[in-house]
Amino acid sequence: MAKRVINFYAGPAALPLPALERAQAELLDFENTGMSVMEISHRAKEYDAVHNEAIALIKELLNVPDNYKVLFLQGGGNLQFAMLPMNILHSGRKADYIVTGSWAKKAFKEAQIVAGDAARCIASTEGEKFTRLPKPAEIKVNTDAAYVHICTNNTIYGTQWKEFPKTGNIPIAADMSSDFMWRPFDVKPFGFIYAGAQKNLGPSGLVVAIIRDDFLEMCSDKLPTMLQYKIHAEKNSLYNTPPCFSIYILRNVLMYNKQIGGLDAIYKNNLKKGELLYGMIDKYPDFYRGYVKVKEDRSFMNVDFNLPSEELDAKFVSEAKKAGMVGLKGYRTLGGIRVSMYNAVTVAQIETLCGFMEEFVKKA
């Protein structure tokens, strides 16, 4: 049995062990082909089955309505920051952006590069160092917006939308890279959803996108071919060679998620993990100093806190590593500690961390 650590990295991040074991068992001979899935043509029927199964599992697990397409894209969330406005913000269209952290801010800046003043920031908590989300009264959606863009989970600062902004008939476009499929949610208010797989669902190199048919109709066909959502939808994300192995691992993860009870079971586990970890932080608020100031805004995926000194921060990370827990060093601009507890992190692993935190307080 290979030695496994408890992995709290923010991305690429932990994957479910059964999904990896399946890949291990199939690595040299996939579906009796005598090849690995990495060696098979993306036009072969064996790969085609994986590709379509992954799409079907996303639709099933999320209960995606029939008027949506699932796309597999490349270039990470960063490319989508530009590709979205390139496709939609033409012919005089405008869009609203809510800036709640570094990635939401980058998305807005890319939209400004593409569309200038047609990209409008309608709410931001940057002045408060992103320690909370905007309140509903602070969000004024423009009636002429083609979409309202949000980032659903703040990987760096540790905030998360539990209730999405009310936008009326204006579709939401959402970067869900760090909390996609952490719980069930209603897809219908969204015109476009995109998520880099490397945080919650698979390896790096793959973006999962869900686009509504009417939103797709709005997309430009005057762009370079690889930048057109219409082309990727028309070709079932097979216009060019897709990241086959990343999609294969995604399929494995999704199948595992289905087998353990789907998103309802995953959500229950995630709530329990949050209850445990935030319970420990709240038990010792003078020692484990949470970054997010509004409890309702605290993320169930990425949890930030600081200890009383940088020396204690470093000691915490070092001793946790000796205890078999890695990836706890805070983001470079914040310091402190960051616990990324995506779907693949188990309740038992958070219990182990909390036990370590309890003992660390006593020894400090």
- How does pLDDT run across 259-277, given as a tens digit for each residue? 999 999 999 999 999 999 9
Q: Is 182 a catalytic residue?
A: no
Catalytic position from the list 69, 96, 182, 199: 199
Structural contact between residues 70 and 59, judged by C-beta atoms closer than 8 angstroms: yes
pLDDT tens-digit profile of 100-118? 999 999 999 999 999 999 9
Residue of 333 and 109 predicted with greater confidence: 109
**231 in the same domain as 211:** yes
Whether 151 maps to a domain, the answer reads yes
Q: Is 161 a catalytic residue?
A: no
**311 in the same domain as 251:** no
Tell me the CATH number at 324.
3.90.1150.10
* pTM of the shown model: 0.97
**304 in the same domain as 219:** no
Structural contact between residues 246 and 203, judged by C-beta atoms closer than 8 angstroms: yes
Catalytic position from the list 175, 297, 304, 313: 175
Neighbours of 57 (CB within 10 A): 19
**272 in the same domain as 223:** no
pLDDT at 21 over 70: yes
Q: Where does a domain end: 259, 286, 309? A: 259
pLDDT at 64 over 70: yes
pLDDT tens-digit profile of 300-318? 999 999 999 999 999 999 9
**100 in the same domain as 231:** yes
Whether 219 maps to a domain, the answer reads yes
Whether 119 maps to a domain, the answer reads yes
**133 in the same domain as 112:** yes
Residue 127's alpha-carbon distances to 27, 100, 123, 150, 326, in angstroms, are 49, 10, 11, 17, 32
Go through 240-268 and write b for each residue having 16 or more CB atoms within 10 A of its CB, e for each that does not: eebbbbbbbbbbbbbbbbeeeebbeebbe
**221 in the same domain as 318:** no
Helical axes 244-259 vs 17-26, angle rounded to 10°: 130
Cα–Cα nearest to 238, from 76, 57, 54, 60? 54
pLDDT on residue 2: 77
**Beta strands at 325-326 and 172-175: parallel, antiparallel or unpaired:** unpaired
Whether 335 maps to a domain, the answer reads yes
Q: Where does a domain end: 237, 259, 281? A: 259
CB proximity list for 321: less than 8 A, separation 6 or greater: 328
pLDDT at 364 over 90: no
Strand order through the sheet with 68-73 = 68-73, 207-212, 190-196, 172-175, 145-151, 94-99, 119-124
Task: Work out the mean pLDDT of the chain and round it to a whole number.
Answer: 97
Q: Which domain holds residue 269?
A: 262-363
pLDDT on residue 219: 98
> What is the number of domains present in the chain?
2
**Rounded mean pLDDT, 53-73:** 98
pLDDT on residue 1: 65
**278 in the same domain as 203:** no
Tell me the CATH number at 68.
3.40.640.10
E strands within the chain? 6-7, 68-73, 94-99, 119-124, 145-151, 172-175, 190-196, 207-212, 289-290, 302-306, 325-326, 337-340
Residue 125's alpha-carbon distances to 56, 101, 128, 135, 139, in angstroms, are 37, 8, 5, 10, 11
Q: What percent of the chain has pLDDT over 90?
A: 98
In this prediction, residue 235 has a pLDDT band, given cuts at 50, 70 and 90, of very high
Longest dimension (CA), the chain: 63
Whether 157 maps to a domain, the answer reads yes
Catalytic position from the list 69, 103, 161, 230: 103
Q: Where does a domain end: 259, 287, 306? A: 259
**Rounded mean pLDDT, 293-298:** 97
**162 in the same domain as 60:** yes
**281 in the same domain as 228:** no
